[in-house]
Amino acid sequence: MTIPALDVVVPDRVRRLAGGARLTPVWENGIGGLTFRTDDGRYIKWGPHDLEANMRDEAERMRWAARWLRVPEVIDQGQDAAHEWLVTAAIDAESAVAPRWAAEPEVAVRAIGTGLRMLHDTLPVTECPWEWSVAGRLERAAARGIRLPEALRTPPPIDLLVVCHGDACAPNTLIDAHGAVAGHVDLAALGTGDRWADIAVAAMSTTWNYGAGWEDALVEAYGVPPDRERMTYYRDLWNAT
């Protein structure tokens, strides 16, 4: 995922959704999906259909999570034969990988860790209608034609069952002007699972966005001792699926 060039071609659908608002491209994912910010306080996410995580699921999960947690308000969501889109209200904050926070990794990593702990402590497991279990992830990977190593078929026992973010990489935490967590985005895979499924991925993502040496700092900010066995397993599962 990268920040696109300012002269990126704006899809017709995005122009129609924007109305007369000015568009600024802010994100491009690995399958050609684009996210734009409008000058009237919205984000428009558009892209091809994704077998892993679709925007219909994301909208549904955000509406559910918003009862307990700060996430973007869903304004519109739709799809056609080739593409899907999602329109949300902007939160007054920046991604943890925005240039300011990329230059202040200690602040960013602390916000990601504390924000992930807040998400896990706040969202109610008993009321969550979705799962992000190992069994479910293995089944969905097989349906996409992914053949997994045998070692990944025997996960470690669950440490603590929580409502997982499902994509706890650094860009999906929002940070306010004071360096505190302000919200979470990209919740299409949200569901119940072991908390280490999120912690491991969040820690791993610090190496992609801030360089080496920040993984244990994130776990410390979350508030638990590192569990090397579970971190290794869930990193390997993430990379394989």
Q: Which parts are annotated binding residues?
A: 172, 186
Residue 105, Cα to own-chain centre: how many angstroms?
A: 18
Active site residue 50: no
Residues at the binding site for Mg(2+) are 172, 186
Contact between 216 and 204 (Cβ < 8 Å): no
SS (H, E, C) the chain: CECCCCCCCCCHHHHHHHCCCCEEEEEECCCCCEEEEECCCEEEEEEECCCCCCHHHHHHHHHHHCCCCCCCCEEEEEECCCEEEEEEECCCCEECCCHHHHCCHHHHHHHHHHHHHHHHHHCCHHHCCCECCHHHHHHHHHHCCCCCCHHHHCCCCCCCEEEECCCCCHHHEEECCCCCEEEECCCCCCEEEEHHHHHHHHHHHHHHHCCCCCHHHHHHHHCCCCCHHHHHHHHHHHHHC
Catalytic pick among 167, 194, 198, 227? 167
Catalytic residues: 167
